[in-house]
Amino acid sequence: MRVLTIPTLLSAFTLLGCGADAPLGGQAAPIIDGVASTADEDAAVWVGILSPEGYPQGSCSGVLLAENVLLTARHCVSRTADGGIACSKDGKPISGGGVLSDYPVERLAVVIGTTMGRTTKAAARGKQLFTTGAKNLCNNDIALVVLDRKIAGAKIAKVRLDAPPVKGETMTAVGWGVSNVSRTNRRNRRADIPITSVGPISTGTGAVGSGEFQIGEGICSGDSGGPAFATSTGAVLGVVSRGGNGAPYDPATDPAWTQCVDTADYKTHNIYTRVDAFKDLVLQTFEAAGTEPWLEGGPDPRKAKLGEPCDGPDACRSGICIDAGGKNICTNPCDEATACPDGYVCSAVGGSKLCTPKPAEVPVSATPTEPTVKGGCAVGGPSSPARGLATGLAAVALVALARRRRR
């Protein structure tokens, strides 16, 4: 978590963390030519290391994939060797980027919200750290952390695990790093940044590993670990690893963002670590956290599944809540190609096909009885199995068909 200067961009990239001894309230605001981030991106968080006395040190960015799962860069949670980092396209180190040791995970602090100051308190700390275990950051600059608590009501992000980013696809960068347009301690964003290359590939500015992708100008020191959100779906594609433009830098006179902004002579190139390339590591972390990831294109895993109680469509993964015999439960759509699980039948309800609880079967040997009338309502058994089926289906009322259609 330190600013690393480099002699030329062709030989090495800068790790985009901030100095480990920097005070919490002294960092500049993030994203080159960015604007203030909104509550829509509250899954993006500030990440730092606490001193043994409990004071924040350094500054990175990260993103919540669950209320108790943090995704960030490996160099944000580790001590690394001084100097730039140069890698080959197969992920082998050419120079720099060595991992010395991981910080004690309980010293990791997470702050939520869009602004912060010296009195801002951590929402959670680290409990368990997951990395590839590599001793070099090349093609391995990723870390996941199980937090010591669930951050109640926290916004979480979808994640792309089953496909890589695509060259030309656009994304939004969000982070807490250095900016050329703001000096306040706030979270910023820059939208519609195109992905220029997806590894493994060698480019005129260096190499992009098989688990990485590259963009141009957009991020800077302190944005390390910050998410790339896909413009099309909002899913996390990766986290900031390193970058820069190779411009000469004099810390005594030059602005902190000198090596992050395009000029006529120096073009900026920044590298993200892809999340999909580390799917097994992500799933291992979620298993330890006792929760599920919100997969791109899938439902929010915090919502209720088929058959679980609901108080409205927003409570269900499917967006469909029905009244089944006086009990509100979540259900799923069905058709000839999508069968219902055991205990459910595919029924026509309100012009749609939905999975409904299978009616209780009447034994063949049972003698049908006349319904018992109490208060004007039949409460006894049906006079025949066929009648019982019709009554059971009629009791299933659609509560949220309109919601499902909107989806």
Upper half-sphere CA count for residue 327 (Cβ side, 13 Å): 10
Which residue is listed with tokens 């208060």?
A: 375
pLDDT at residue 299, as a whole number: 93
Q: Which of 82-86, 133-137, 333-337, 384-388 has the lowest mean pLDDT?
A: 384-388
Report the SS3 class of residue 302: coil
Q: What is the mean pLDDT of residues 77-100?
A: 86
* CA 140 remoteness from chain centre: 18
Residue 181: give the domain boundaries. 14-289
Higher pLDDT, 59 or 321: 321
Q: Could you tell me if 141 and 191 lie in one domain?
A: yes
pLDDT at residue 306, as a whole number: 96
Q: What is the mean pLDDT of residues 361-371?
A: 46
Q: Give pLDDT tens digits for 279-320.
A: 999 999 999 999 999 999 999 999 999 999 999 999 999 999
Q: Could you tell me if 256 and 326 lie in one domain?
A: no
Q: Could you tell me if 284 and 359 lie in one domain?
A: no
DSSP code, position 343: T
18 has a pLDDT exceeding 70 = no
Q: Give pLDDT tens digits for 157-184.
A: 999 999 999 999 999 999 887 666 665 5
pLDDT at residue 57, as a whole number: 72
Highest mean pLDDT, choosing among 11-25, 58-72, 177-191, 250-264? 58-72
* pLDDT tier, 43 (very low <50, low <70, confident <90, very high otherwise): very high
294 touches 63 (CB < 8 A): no
Query: Is residue 357 in a domain?
Result: yes
399 has a pLDDT exceeding 50 = no
Q: Could you tell me if 268 and 365 lie in one domain?
A: no
Q: Give pLDDT tens digits for 208-239.
A: 999 999 999 888 878 889 999 999 999 999 99
Q: Could you tell me if 270 and 394 lie in one domain?
A: no
pLDDT at residue 250, as a whole number: 83
Domain count, the chain: 2
Q: What is the pTM of this model?
A: 0.79
Residues 304-323 as b or e (16 or more Cβ within 10 Å = b): bebbeebeebebbbbbbbbe
For position 240, which CATH number holds?
A: 2.40.10.120
355 touches 334 (CB < 8 A): yes
Rounded Cα distance between 223 and 72, Å, is 10
273 touches 241 (CB < 8 A): yes
Q: What is the mean pLDDT of residues 52-65?
A: 82
